[in-house]
Each structure stands twice: as structure tokens, then as C-alpha cells.
Amino acid sequence: MSDLLKNTNNDYGDDAIVTLSPREHIRLRPGMYIGKLGDGSQADDGIYVLIKEVVDNSVDEFIMGAGRQIDITIENSVVSVRDYGRGIPLKSLSAAVSEMNTGGKYGGTAFKKTVGLNGVGVKAVNMLSSEFTARSVRDGEARTVTFAKGLEQSDRWESGVEEKNGTFISFRVDEEVFGAYTYNMEYVEQMVKNYTYLNLGLTFRLNGRNYVSKNGLLDLLNENLAEEPLYPPIHLSGDDIEVAIAHGTGYGESYFSFVNGQYTSQGGTHQAAFREAIAKTIKEFYHKDYDPSDIRTSIIAAISVKVTDPVFESQTKIKLGSKEIEPGVSMRNFVVEFLGKHLDDYLHKHAETAQILQRKIVENEKERKAISGIQKKARETAKKVSLNNKKLRDCKIHRVDKHELAECSMIFITEGNSASGSITKSRDPRTQAVFSLRGKPLNCFGLTKKVVYENEEFNLLQAALNIEEDMDNLRYEKVIIATDADVDGMHIRLLLTTFFLQFFPDIIRSGHLYILQTPLFRVRNKRETHYCYSEEERQRAVARCGANAEITRFKGLGEISPDEFREFIGEHMRLDKVRITKDDPIHDLLEFYMGKNTYERQGFIIDNLRIEEDIVQEDFN
């Protein structure tokens, strides 16, 4: 052993110390600059962060009063962004897009209360792109520079051009770094909409289609309301702040927060101050010491603030850390004072809204008190079981931990011993947990939250996720429903989705709920093996493997060996995010598919079975 240690120590010499250039560091460790890589299947994948980094600069131009339109084109994996601002100063163009810590946002008056502050974003785009072009036009003069993987390829100057002033950036993400990827235009469209809500008067043209907002956060709220609100949304704005507030009929809290036009999906100090201010203002308005949870349950709201030199918790800028909105002005006091005046004034002027809101608070209070005794008993049960919880195979690192892998934490919710056993043996115990259900969960549609505490399965699942008190305490970044690819598995998937939609919709709204896709077939010969997730993939695999291909149909998760399963929950894991949008009539969907409307549902099933039979018959013919 001593010899081994001696040899190991000898390996650690001066030759082991490596100094990377900024370009090399970004390409080797892209996650430090853009978060995860991804293949474009998730809204927070790196390819969308790169688009945002370029667009942020164009939006900053608009904020500073230069340019009222931004054109974005995505075609054949090439992204182009053209603004009509001042244009990057020509002599500095190459350095501005290729040299780290170079930019015009380090103080001074060129940019104020903007998002791009670190001189990193567009350089990361350049160095992570197989091809990158930057062109600036200023008063008839133009300069165009091209790069490949961050290395300059050409530099061209022009005079007498007739183009409007502004900056043009074009790039193709490097597959050597990202692997295969595809842009989901729904994610790009939502990004563009968020920009328009925060920048009234700015028009985006995405692939030829115009996007513009006339009412700011009110448009955002109306776009994202999945049901008719209890009262007309409240819309308030002032210097450096804008808010929109409404209540629905469900559970949970939903917030959209922004800083200098940047969507902070993980909130931060401004969102925390907003939540506190809403509760404080409403308690003082009604002169009642309501519990904050009763005030905020079923709220959907948005807040936008403009901050001088904002401090974010990472380069991806999804959580604000600033405690001041500007030097000497507390973020908390600023938000509390704004709502304390303007929300109070609004409720005094709109008596009907005030009455509806109070009725909702009282209803929430009654329900909370009605289940308080059950909660206490359920907590005791969950605590006892957690000491020897055979349902939960926990991981070591959780979402709330201060650890570099915390964002990778996930829990698989599955059914049956065989399926749980396969995942447990295959998982990475550092970041992957497993929760095992016993049989099919209860259909909770139409029930109150009381059932969460009365039903052992739901109670223990809630305890495992740690979401009873506050969604911010969710222990896992991804909550993954993992069921068999058959009728029973689909039914369990629907029952679990109903549970989250009914009682914890914030998990879905915040993008934490996923469906695990597992292969239906394995196709192999002596030389190669292919796992297929659809009939089309199976046919392609059979064509590659030839006539002697061996085809296995996986009927359940338990039939897949742990060694094989490791492939499906590791680097090549396929996940579908469960999403809620305004166009999803949640209550109507749940009532139809999970309610007691037996005849209507029977008719739907019969009609669709006939269609399926026709398709099958056509295939045989």
C-alpha cells in the first residue's frame, strides 16, 4: 500500500499543473458558463442559454434607448440575431466578441440597469460555436469578423454601406461540445415572449413572425392563467418595478420574476421580498393576522425589477442575489413599501376584488385548520417510517445542498419491487433516489388536500419530496415518474400526474416534473445492440442489424437488467418534461379523463379505438 501511495504522489508533479486559456477553459468546462449542455429537449438546455446571451445584448441596446426591433432567425441549426441599436464600436468589435472580460458594461453611462455585466456571455457563444460571425454597422461604416471555435478566421471592413446601424450575430453551436441537438421552437418562442413582456415598445421578429406586448406583465399573467382567475388581475407599476397578481382555485404558489428583463426562473431576493410584501400588505389591509400561506395559496403573480449592477448567483443569471436595488436602497424595503402603498390603494378602490380575495383567504384558512390535526398525526407517521423507510432509497446530494452536483439530484417514482430493484441497482447513489409505490395510487381528482395526509402513499411521497411547508425545500431538482410501458404503467403515470396537478402544481410550473422514457425494444446481432423507443426506431434498427437480428420486447421495467438500465438513467436518459400552459384547461382535462363521466369517456375510447383499427387494417392491406 505504501508503494502505491508513493507512486501516486510521484504522479503529482509540476507536469500535472495545467494553465488553460479562457477559450480552452470554456470548451472544457462549458457548464460553468451556460449551465448544463443538453440536446434541446429542455428549456434550460445550453443551446437556449447561448441564444439568450446574444439577445440580452440587443435588449440592453433597447433599454438604453437605441433600436426598437430585434430580428431572430433559426434555420438549419444556425441562429442569427440582428438588432438596430448603436452597433458595437468598430475598432473594438473583434475583442468584444472574443476576449474575456472585455465590454462596455463595467460602469460609466453607456449601459445602466442591464443584464450583461460580466463580459462573458457572447464570448462563450463564440468559443462554443463551430462557426460564429459578428457584424457591426455604424453610420455607413461596417466591420465583419468570423470565428471557428473561438479562433478568428477573417476580418473585413467596409465603407459606404446603406444598412441601418446595429449589430448582427450569427452562430452554429459546436456538436463536438454539445453532441446532436435540435431547437424546440416553443422554448425559443416563450423566451421571446418573456422579453416582450418586460420591454414595452420592443418588437421581436422570430422567423418572420412579430411578437410585441402592449400590457407588460398583465399580458404574461393572462398568457399563463390555466383557469379563469377569481378576480380581474391586479396590475401595478412604478419606477423600476412592475407587478401583476391574481388568485385561482387550486393549491400552491406560482411566480414569474424578472431582473432587468432577465427571467429569474429560480427567483431570488426580489421574489422573496415580493412574497413577504404581499402577505404583509394584505394582513394590514384587512386588519387580520392571517397566516401567509392562506394569503398566498393559489396565487399566480409576476414581478419585474430594475437593479443597478445586479448580482446573480451564477453566469446563467437565473437567481438574483442582490440585496439592494441600488446603492443604499434595500431590495426588501423597496418592494415592501411599493406594495404597501399601491396594492393597498388598489384594494381600497376595488371593493369587489377585496371581498373576493378575503373570501378566498378565509376558505384557505378553514381548510388548513380542518386538516391540522391530520397533519400532525401524518407527520409523526412519516417521521417514524422515515427512520426505516423501505419505500425511499435516498441519494447523498440534494437540491438544497451547497454542492456542485445539487442541480443533478433526482428521484424516480416507480411501482413494484422488480422495477424499483432494477433502478436502485443501476442508479448513481450520489444524485439519484428511488421511491417505490405499492400498487396503483389513489385517484385524487376532486378531493381536498386532506387526502394527502390520510393516504399513506401520498403522505410518505410528500415527506420524501419535502414539499409540505414550502416548494423551495424540494429535495430533488427532477421528480421523475418511471412506470412500465404498458396500460397499467400509463394509468399509474396519469394518477401520479393528477396528484401533482391537484395538490402541488408548482412542481410542474417550476419545471421539476418529468416522465422517464424507457425502451420498448432491444434489437441486436453479434456486432451491435440498439435500444428502440418507438416502432420507427425498431424498424431502423432491424434494417441496420439485418435478417438475423434478435428482437426483444420489454414489457416492464423489471425485465430490464440493471446493467442495461444504467444506460437509460445515465448520460443517455430520455426525459419528457410535464408542462402547463394557458392553453391547457387543467380542470376540464382532469374531469374528463379522471372524473366520473363514464359514458363520455367510454365514447371517446370507442371512437379512438375504431380509428386505431382502421390504421392497423390499412397497414395490413
> Bridge-partner residues for 206, per DSSP?
72, 209
Q: Which CATH architecture has domain 372-518+558-584?
A: 3-Layer(aba) Sandwich (3.40)
What is the pLDDT at residue 370? 80
What pLDDT is attached to residue 484? 83
Closest CA to 173 of 57, 55, 40, 31: 40
As a whole number, mean pLDDT of residues 189-199 equals 91
Instruction: Give the residue-averaged pLDDT of 495-506.
Output: 88
- 461 has a pLDDT exceeding 80: yes
Which are the contacts of 564, defined by CB distance < 8 A and separation ≥ 6? Answer: 522, 531
Residue 469: phi, psi to the nearest 5? -85, -45
- At 111, the pLDDT band (50, 70, 90 cuts) reads very low
Quick one: how far is CA 55 from the chain centroid?
19
| Residue with cell string 457584424 | 135
Residue 613 has pLDDT above 60, yes or no: no
At 245, the pLDDT band (50, 70, 90 cuts) reads very high
Q: Same topology for domains 217-370 and 372-518+558-584, yes or no? A: no
Tell me what the mean pLDDT of segment 24-49 comes to.
Answer: 81
Radius of gyration of the chain (CA): 27
**Lowest mean pLDDT across 137-151, 387-401, 558-572, 580-594:** 580-594
Instruction: Identify whether the C-beta of residue 302 lies closer than 8 Å to the C-beta of residue 243.
Output: yes
Of the two residues 206 and 546, the one the predictor is more confident about is 206
**CATH architecture of the domain with residue range 25-211:** 2-Layer Sandwich (3.30)
Instruction: Give the per-residue pLDDT at 104.
Output: 52
Q: Kindly tell me if the per-residue pLDDT of 212 is higher than 90.
A: yes
The CATH number that domain 217-370 falls under is 3.30.230.10
Neighbours of 536 (CB within 10 A): 9
The β-bridge relationship of strands 203-206 and 69-75 is parallel
**pLDDT greater at residue 179 or residue 10:** 179
Average pLDDT, the chain: 84
In this prediction, residue 375 carries a pLDDT of 66
Q: What gap in Å lies between CA 460 and CA 505, rounded to an integer?
A: 18
The helix/strand/coil state of 518 is: coil
Q: Is the pLDDT of residue 110 over 50?
A: no
Categorize the per-residue pLDDT at 109 as very low, low, confident or very high, splitting at 50, 70 and 90: very low
pLDDT band with cut points at 50, 70 and 90 for residue 565: confident
Tell me: pLDDT of 71 over 90: yes
Look at residue 315 in the predicted model and tell me its pLDDT. 56
Q: How many CB atoms lie under 10 A from the CB of residue 208?
A: 7
* pLDDT (mean) for 349-354: 96
pLDDT at 108 over 70: no
261-284 core/surface letters (b: 16 or more CB in 10 A; e: else): bbbbbbbbbbbbbbbebbbbbbbe
Q: Has residue 85 got a pLDDT over 90?
A: yes
User: SS3 for 287?
Assistant: coil
Each domain of the chain, given as residue ranges in start order, spans 25-211, 217-370, 372-518+558-584, 521-553, 595-621
The answer to which of 283-287, 310-314, 320-324 has the lowest mean pLDDT is 310-314
